Amino acid sequence: MLHITGLSHIDIDQPIFNSQSIIGKRSFDLLIISKNWPSPGAKTWLVTNPLIAFRSLQNWESGRSVEVSLIKMKNILVIGSTGQIGSELVPALRTYLNETGTVVAGYTSRTPLPQDIKEAGPSALVNVCDKASIETAVKNYEIDTIYNLAALLSATAESVPLKAWDVGINGLFNVLEIARENHCSVFTPSSIGAFGPNTPKLNTPQDTIMRPTTMYGITKVTGELLSNYYYNKYETDTRSVRYPGLISYKTPPGGGTTDYAVEIFWSAVKGEPYKCPIAPDTPMDFMYMPDAIRAAIELMIANPENLKHRNSFNLSAMSFTPAQLAKSISKKISDFKITYEVDPLRQSIAESWPDSLDETCAEEEWGWKPEFDMENMVGDMLENVQGLLNKGNSSSKKE
Ligand code: NAD
Ligand code: AKB
């Protein structure tokens, strides 16, 4: 994880806090500033340029307390960089680090790296089931933070449950062991799939019944427990979130139950009717990818002293049914049509998951707040999918 080399709690009115006192310190590579610390809902910013940090602080109301963390350069390994999340997380982390650290894009021989990721920084062949390949990348690049995104999503996992366990759990064990030996922090996403049919469906609490009925869900609960075990037993800095279904346009989703909420946009923009595999009145929780990426970064730079939970935080942004999403799209594309051909597997998984999660703990412990609701997500998705179609990219599904 981040190596905090200095941590001070200061008042921005105090004379000590002037441009010289920040710029004068040469020992840090990144500056993290958290507003209203340590109150609940404190907001954290990662700033790579101390001058910009100082200017933005001057704009704040005087008298606010702020926490300033001076942290060392980070070298990050992202395992699973070619997926729906990884393909957006790698460029986002590179932008955040702003050349003060290295982001290594891990990929497997089965999935070539997108050109933009390959050209913008280092990459390494990393198979999560092959411990040596993780170790080589960690040692070669002096990695201090691992984002472990390798997994088989819920629908795919049901057709190859042993493989899903191997990648999700034996793979995670490898990552945690390497992290323990090399003092790395680890982020391994969990999911709404960690919950099951006995879980309270509405405003699902952070700590509640977790008896999933899918192999995907079983790997997610086990992964949460294993990650907490490494934190409690070895002080390995593990942190994670329970993502809802993620909506994005850059990379198609990889075989999940919530994939419909991405595919629908491609049909709508192409002027085609969409055949939905989920029944019209089935609610699930969703999040737009920019929020998901921000969460992955903000949690990993959060002050560890404020984290009472670690693996994993409930996250939420919007909850809707296919019919509600179709209606929202129809407001922008009036002749859009949706029909339903329910896939029994995906439908039964969807019905076993919560409708909406309570994310209070994430708000209180690391200041989490989503920016996108359904309406502005729909507008942004339609615009961006149209842009991609104009450029000749027409893929809404994994090849
Ligand atoms: P994805 O299927 O799009 O990508 C998974 C990535 O893992 C791919 O790059 C794949 O090549 C890689 N991978 C598979 N087997 C591997 C192995 N043996 N070694 C190394 N890499 C391997 O998945 P995603 O949507 O990007 O999800 C990433 C993580 O987030 C997963 O843990 C997933 O369960 C979780 N999550 C995703 C969503 C979502 O809606 N996308 C929601 C909740 C949680
Ligand atoms: C899936 O549907 O499997 C994923 C998830 C919500 O974990 N998108």
Closest by Cα among 215, 252, 239, 387 to 303: 239
The pLDDT value given to residue 34: 53
Tens digit of each residue's pLDDT (9 = 90 or more) over 79-108: 999 999 999 999 999 988 777 789 999 999
Mutate which of 84, 152, 154 for ligand 2 pocket (most atoms within 8 A of beta carbon): 154
Average pLDDT over residues 234-238: 94
The pLDDT value given to residue 22: 40
Under the banding of pLDDT at 50, 70 and 90, the label for residue 397 is: low
Which numbered atom of ligand 1 lies nearest the CA of 110?
11
Task: Tell me the whole-structure pTM to 2 decimals.
Answer: 0.86
- % of the chain exceeding 90 in pLDDT: 75
Tens digit of each residue's pLDDT (9 = 90 or more) over 32-82: 555 544 444 444 555 544 444 444 554 454 445 455 554 444 799 999 999
Q: How far is the CA of 190 from the centre of ligand 2 (A)?
A: 9
Q: Say which residues have a Cβ less than 8 Å from residue 160's Cβ, sequence separation at least 6.
A: 152
- How far, in Å, CA of 8 to CA of 32, rounded? 11
The pLDDT value given to residue 8: 44
Query: How crowded is residue 52: how many other Cβ atoms within 10 Å of its Cβ?
Result: 12
Q: Where are the beta strands (DSSP E) in the chain?
A: 4-11, 30-35, 43-47, 65-71, 75-79, 102-107, 123-125, 145-148, 185-187, 190-191, 238-239, 241-243, 245-247, 274-276, 284-288, 313-314, 318-320, 338-340
Tell me the ligand closest to 260's alpha carbon.
2
Q: Point out which residues pair with 75 in neighbouring strands.
A: 102
Tell me the ligand closest to 212's alpha carbon.
2
Average pLDDT over residues 355-381: 96
Q: Which of 20-34, 190-204, 275-289 is the least confident region?
A: 20-34
* Alpha carbon distances (Å) from 10 to 21, 37, 62, 293: 12, 10, 12, 29
Closest by Cα among 331, 340, 343 to 382: 331
Contact predicate 373/318, CB 8 Å? yes
96 is catalytic: no
For the cut 90, the answer to whether the pLDDT of residue 15 exceeds it is no
The pLDDT value given to residue 395: 66
Q: Say which residues have a Cβ less than 8 Å from residue 272's Cβ, sequence separation at least 6.
A: none
- How far, in Å, CA of 124 to CA of 208, rounded? 39
Burial per residue of 311-337, b for 16 or more beta-carbon CB atoms within 10 angstroms, e otherwise: bbbbbbbbbbbbbebbebbeeebeebe
Q: Say which residues have a Cβ less than 8 Å from residue 176's Cβ, sequence separation at least 6.
A: 186, 226, 227, 230, 236, 238
Ligand 1 contact via 357 beta carbon (within 6 Å): no
Nearest CA to ligand 1 atom 6: 80
